[in-house]
Chain A
């Protein structure tokens, strides 16, 4: 037997090992036995390593994921920035178009309603002078523009044509120091001469100190300069100062508000009235009186109707008894605890009005007569 085992040593070991494992299998399968200890050891031995591997994998994968994510984010960010720039440009263009369309519409509406005959023009450039406030418009003599014509916008006057060429014209702005025009204040009808100063502010000269001009008051063209028809808005007074002999009036031009792109050249000016403003002399419409209360307690002749009336009557009678004049100087205070006989009319008091309450007399304070 031993010789056989030695001769077939390999096969014997194989069979033995397989038999042991078969027995183990049979134990597990037949008896539903769980070799828990071995599994616990195996899992327990592997778990720390698994945690290390998992942590390493998580960190490495996270690093590379973040790295590639950042690359993607950078590209995405660049693309989004490009998109944002493009959208901003488009938005700006659309806003400009919208603003231009709004201005053109306002210009057209003003052109329709204005009694003066005007032609629309577009500002296409500035002149090369440093101090001169002159712009170039795209309408010239071929369109009917002549030197000396007024240039306006719906918001107010802009300037006057100082040079007319076949296809373009020079417009001297109201802010130019050499500009002058007759103006009239809206509220007090004070005449003056509008002058530019070379900056964004205008002055109204030749207004006497005695004349009344308020800050915030509007000035309109007076129509006496043969350039601007009467009734065009000029600007609002921002500052009023008393000068040596004449007032110093500063006016913010209203026609140069938000940039200057489209203007109207007044070909045939027609005077218009300066719009009126609301003043204290104007008739005031009063509201209708409120409706009467639905239920009012009926009054009886000579008898107090309310608690307040009865209290006033009581104090009046105390004053008569005590010979005290309410509101008078000197004298002592009346004795408000004196007993006052009730009036005959009060013997049968009327029922109180709904919602009223009979208050004790002592709690009320004396009232000045």
Chain B
């Protein structure tokens, strides 16, 4: 009986989460991802100080958190990452793998935290940026054989900056919810 009750609560909670998950238009999902990638490609040419912004990652984190679906999150992360790879000077899949993991874990985390809380958003953004950078560094060393140093202090500072940018960005993206 207790198992039955636990299973019921679990199923109910999942349904409740699915029902509460906001929805976005496909065009908005694709357009924002593309805009984020293009922003990263072109804007730092004119304003060099903005090169630290990892907008594709923040967009991936946001939509994965909002959808609360690990599969949707990892697929969205994979698409964004591969698109980013196609315009980057590295082998296809580097950003794809990292953002796939980010999307998956962000969607998973959204099932455990109140993602509407700005503090939670700030911490998650900081964490996933750090995770993204660290795992990308690991992949560079492991798969590409590049012996690069991991600049911990710099990465932490940039992670804080990205987290600070993520708050207003997420607030703006909240306006795109359709359901």
Contacts and interface: CB of A to CB of B under 8 A. Distances in A.
On whether the two chains bind one another, the answer is: yes
Interface of A: 9-10, 13-14, 17-18, 21-22, 24-26, 28-29, 35, 38-39, 41-43, 46, 49-50, 53-54, 57, 61
A53 B93 CA distance: 27
Nearest to A49: B38
Given A49-B38, A53-B38, A25 B93 contact: yes
Nearest to A33: B91
B71 interface: yes
Interface in B40-86: 41-42, 46, 70-71, 74-75, 78, 82-83, 86
Contact of B96 (A21, A39, A57): A21
Contacts of A25: 91-94, 97, 143
Contact of B93 (A24, A43, A46, A49): A24
B161 interface: no
A17 B87 contact: no
Contacts of A57: 46
Contacts of B104: 10, 14
B110 to A, nearest CB: 13
Contact of B92 (A14, A18, A28, A54): A28
Interface in B84-129: 86-87, 91-94, 96-97, 100-101, 104, 108
Contacts of A18: 97, 100-101
A331 B20 CA distance: 145
Given A21-B78, A49-B38, A14 B70 contact: yes
A42 B75 contact: no
Q: How large is the interface on B (under 10, 10 to 19, 20 to 34, 35 or more residues)?
A: 20 to 34
A53 B42 contact: yes
Contacts of A35: 92
A41 B100 contact: no
B100 A14 contact: yes
Contacts of B176: none
Contacts of B74: 10, 13-14, 17
Given A17-B74, A17-B78, A50-B42, A28 B97 contact: no
B28 interface: no
- Chain A interface main SS type: helix
A293 B153 CA distance: 103
A17 B75 contact: yes
B169 interface: no
Contacts of A14: 70, 74, 100-101, 104
Given A10-B70, A14-B70, A28-B91, A46 B144 contact: no
B86 A39 contact: yes
B42 A17 contact: no
A49 to B, nearest CB: 7
A26 B144 CA distance: 9
A14 B105 CA distance: 10
Nearest to B74: A14
A170 B86 CA distance: 99
A331 B104 CA distance: 138
A38 B108 CA distance: 30
A57 B78 CA distance: 31
B100 A38 contact: no
Given A9-B71, A17-B75, A29-B143, A22 B93 contact: yes
A21 B71 contact: no
26 contacts: A10-B70, A13-B74, A17-B74, A17-B75, A18-B97, A22-B93, A24-B91, A24-B92, A24-B96, A25-B92, A25-B97, A25-B143, A26-B143, A29-B91, A35-B92, A38-B82, A38-B86, A39-B86, A42-B86, A42-B87, A43-B86, A43-B87, A46-B41, A49-B38, A50-B42, A53-B38
B50 to A, nearest CB: 14
Nearest to A50: B42
Given A21-B97, A25-B143, A13 B71 contact: yes
A35 B93 CA distance: 11
A46 B38 contact: yes
A38 B144 contact: no
Contacts of B101: 14, 18
B46 A17 contact: no
Given A21-B92, A25-B93, 6 more contacts: A10-B104, A18-B97, A18-B101, A24-B93, A38-B86, A42-B86
Contacts of A29: 91, 143-144
A230 B93 CA distance: 113
A25 B95 CA distance: 11
Contacts of A43: 86-87
Contacts of B97: 18, 21-22, 25
A5 B30 CA distance: 29
A319 to B, nearest CB: 106
Contact of B71 (A10, A41, A49, A54): A10
Contacts of A9: 71
Interface string B134-167: 0000000001100000000000000000000000
